């Protein structure tokens, strides 16, 4: 399993700095973000619009994901949400609740059914 990366992608850097509004503005202007396999440890992602984003193999340990709707993201397979704050978060329908619980409690990677 590849280790999560701290990418040089400028849009990823905005998320690491919790500059969610600026991230949204730049996405709306047509920029694209490469977020596959990225390290989101301890980052506050509240209010993130995840529609169309690819978070495959990303690492969200102890991140604040409260209220984020991942149901329309391109890919969430292989992501880990160990000890993340997920109150009010929505996940892709294809990921079973027990998969989410295992990832939250033990750090397993999320698998689609």
What is the DSSP annotation of 44-104? B-TT-B-TT-B-TT-B-TT-B-TT-B-TTSSB-TT-B-TT-B-TT-B--TTS-HHHHHHHH
Mean pLDDT in the chain?
Answer: 95
Can you read off the two tokens belonging to residue 100?
Answer: 């989410």
- pLDDT of 56-96, one tens digit each? 999 999 999 999 999 999 999 999 999 999 999 999 999 99
Question: What is the H or E stretch that residue 22 is in?
Answer: helix 20-28
44 has pLDDT over 90: yes
pTM (two decimals): 0.93
Which pLDDT band, with edges at 50, 70 and 90, does 4 fall under?
A: confident
Check pLDDT > 60 for residue 1.
no
Looking at residue 48, its pLDDT comes to 97
What are the phi and psi torsion angles at 50 (to 5°)? -90, 5
């Amino acid at each position: 399993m590849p280790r999560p990366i701290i990418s040089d992608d400028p849009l990823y850097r905005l998320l690491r700095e919790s500059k969610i509004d600026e991230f949204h503005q730049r996405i709306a202007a047509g920029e694209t973000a490469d977020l596959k396999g990225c390290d989101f440890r301890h980052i506050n992602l509240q209010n993130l619009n995840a529609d169309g984003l690819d978070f495959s193999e990303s690492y969200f340990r102890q991140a604040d994901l409260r209220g984020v709707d991942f149901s329309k993201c391109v890919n969430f397979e292989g992501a880990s949400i160990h000890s993340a704050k997920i109150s009010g978060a929505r996940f892709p329908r294809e990921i079973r609740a027990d998969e989410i619980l295992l990832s939250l409690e033990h750090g397993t990677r999320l698998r689609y059914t």
